[in-house]
Amino acid sequence: MKNIVYFDLETQKSADDVGGWGNIRDMRMSVGVTFSTTRGTYEIYPESRVNELIEELRRADLVVGFNVLRFDYEVLVGHNPFFDPAQVPTLDMLVELQKTLPHRLSLDAIATATLGVEKTSEGLQAIRWYREGKLLEIAEYCCFDVKITRLVHEYGAAHRQLHFVNRFGKRLTVPVAW
């Protein structure tokens, strides 16, 4: 059985905290979450286990995420400069969608239009929770994001399309090939 690992992480700091989006590696992971298709369960990784998270990603047959190439992997490189994202077979759904669409979509926009499911929060709230020491809340939020990522990926694989609502409120379809 092919081991697909769905992945997301939350950070300790915002772009403003680290001097801009050019300093993603300085944002530091607060919590990372994976869902492995062979394991069939979620795994929650606090910062103290970041290298175990990296090893799980390296062992996967495929890692699936949303904006993992430009964001999540960069955060991980900030923890472990020996982590080479190019060595990890990855499907970044945002990158694939940007090949077809002239604008960027959020995971929330895709999940809401495709599945009728909205995210429970957003990244800046997760940073506030981190500052308040609420790691359980971050883990729950991140697990739900990983679940949404998995459901969107599976829907796209089964139906060869995803949906979104444009700025005029019209529901549109975008083809996908994964």
Q: Find the mean pLDDT for residues 109-114.
A: 94
What confidence tens digit (pLDDT) does each residue in 49-79 have?
999 999 999 999 999 999 999 999 999 999 9
What confidence tens digit (pLDDT) does each residue in 144-170 have?
999 999 999 999 999 999 999 888 888
Name the band, by pLDDT with cuts 50, 70 and 90, for residue 121: low
* Distance between CA atoms of residues 33 and 56, nearest Å: 11
What confidence tens digit (pLDDT) does each residue in 129-143 have?
999 999 999 999 999
What pLDDT was estimated at residue 89? 98
Q: Which helix (H) or strand (E) holds 95?
A: helix 93-98
What percent of the chain shows pLDDT beyond 70?
A: 98
Angle CA 101–105–108, to nearest 5: 145
How many domains, the chain?
Answer: 1
* Distance between CA atoms of residues 95 and 65, nearest Å: 10
Give the residue numbers spanning the domain of 152: 4-175
What confidence tens digit (pLDDT) does each residue in 99-108 have?
999 888 899 9
pLDDT at 120 over 80: no
Q: What is the mean pLDDT of the chain?
A: 94
What pLDDT was estimated at residue 31? 97
Please give the single-letter amino acid code of residue 50: V
Record the tokens describing residue 128, joined without a space: 């506030």
Q: Read off the CATH number of the domain in which 166 is found.
A: 3.30.420.10
